[in-house]
Chains A and B, each alone.
Chain A
């Protein structure tokens, strides 16, 4: 058990170190999501009412779009110098590669969220009616769902031609439930609804997270097979 965890953290640390050292995707992701929020703030010239209506969707869409930039990088880095073959020649199991990469992608996405989130409050003059704690939980479990599916499907598309353009096309339809649930729950917290009115959404996100944790563990071997 300890040994397996050590392998997962080895992948996790390696990805984070090379990512933050190269700075390519983290910087791009942050810049991109800030840009979206500035542009939308200009496009809609938000009044208080429209803010509450569009902001949850805007937040999640900008996160998904900037997250995809990072997901595409994850395996591009492994293909360069055939590093993936190198990894697969060691005793590590494919599911450990998957978990390590998912964890690293999650940390990068959370990093983007921590930077951009305060900016939403500033640019859109938002005052939160619900609980900040619950909002953070929703952001966290929603991000987990997105990253679990995204890390899995990015491994799939990295095998294909035109993979960078392909990832959103195959990822978005599968993300629909978690995205819808996260937007609805976020929106409920913004407008200050009581918890039992949006608890089913939170449950739905958790179910989604669980299913898309289990499925990749069952199927990731097939994506890592070398022929």
Chain B
């Protein structure tokens, strides 16, 4: 479960997010659509506790037991169009580095497990600068999942992927969903990764313009709703 309550953020005099509240229950997969500059990435960074909102609050999971920001960050994994990987290090070393930052025990077994999941076992000891764009994206998925987070936040993860990468990422998302992970994905596309989405939010000018379930929703309907909400 992840929840943002009354979140506002301004840059200088620009109101990027205006009093936004979102709640994603455990196991739900939500997609956020919106034009460029709507504030999608900003919202994602605030939910990931990387950036602080001017006002408002973020709640992740059951916070009654632990609530230091560090402990909460352990519950979140983020995948973005940037890979967050070091080119001079090998795939293994990159995963080891982030695993250690999460303070994980039994790291080696976890690395092998997650690298198998993204199909990079053979490239385990290759330096990352030798990787293709697709391999890089797969490794960055492994990086985000290394600590087995409850909540996965994705910022336009399909950007720049080839067909193979797209179907791999879709497989990972389906897998995560069947494991009852909470997922929030910012996206540009009306198709990629949309099959498993439960709910769609449309963000426009820092506000939630629409919030509806995808059940029985046709692709044409979605496009129509989107253009209605964003045009004005």
Contact = CB atoms under 8 A, between A and B. Distances in A.
B88 A18 contact: yes
B207 interface: no
Contacts of A18: 86, 88-89
Q: What's the dominant secondary structure at chain A's contact region? A: helix
Given A6-B100, A88-B50, A92-B101, A83 B76 contact: no
A226 B45 contact: yes
A225 B73 CA distance: 15
Contacts of A14: 86, 89, 93, 97
Contact of A91 (B89, B101, B127): B101
Contacts of B103: 3, 6-7, 91
A89 B74 CA distance: 9
Given A17-B93, A227-B51, A90 B73 contact: yes
Contacts of B83: 81-82
A118 interface: no
Contact of B88 (A6, A21, A87, A90): A21
B149 to A, nearest CB: 10
Interface string A4-26: 00110010001001100110000
Nearest to B51: A226
A92 B103 CA distance: 9
A83 B101 CA distance: 13
Chain A interface residue number, banded: 20 to 34
B52 interface: yes
Contacts of A129: none
Interface in B77-93: 78, 80, 82-89, 93
Contacts of B101: 7, 10, 87, 90-92
B45 to A, nearest CB: 6
Contacts of A77: 86
Contacts of A80: 87
B84 A81 contact: yes
B93 A91 contact: no
Contact of B50 (A3, A21, A85, A93): A85
A206 B11 CA distance: 41
Nearest to A90: B101
A146 B103 CA distance: 31
A7 B102 CA distance: 9
A227 B84 contact: no
A11 B80 CA distance: 22
Contacts of B73: 89-91
Interface string A197-227: 0000000000000000000000000000111
A86 interface: yes
B51 A82 contact: no
A17 B70 contact: no
A4 B73 CA distance: 16
Nearest to A3: B103
Closest CB pairs A-B (n = 5): A86-B84, A91-B70, A82-B82, A90-B101, A18-B88
28 contacts: A3-B103, A7-B101, A10-B101, A14-B86, A17-B93, A21-B89, A21-B127, A22-B88, A77-B86, A82-B80, A82-B82, A82-B83, A83-B86, A85-B50, A86-B78, A86-B143, A89-B48, A89-B73, A89-B84, A90-B101, A90-B102, A91-B69, A91-B73, A91-B74, A225-B51, A225-B52, A227-B11, A227-B51
Given A81-B87, A83-B86, A226-B51, 18 more contacts: A14-B86, A14-B97, A18-B88, A21-B88, A80-B87, A81-B83, A82-B82, A85-B80, A85-B82, A85-B84, A86-B82, A88-B50, A89-B48, A89-B50, A91-B69, A92-B101, A93-B70, A225-B51
Interface of B: 11, 45, 48-52, 69-71, 73-74, 76, 78, 80, 82-89, 93, 97-98, 100-103, 127, 143
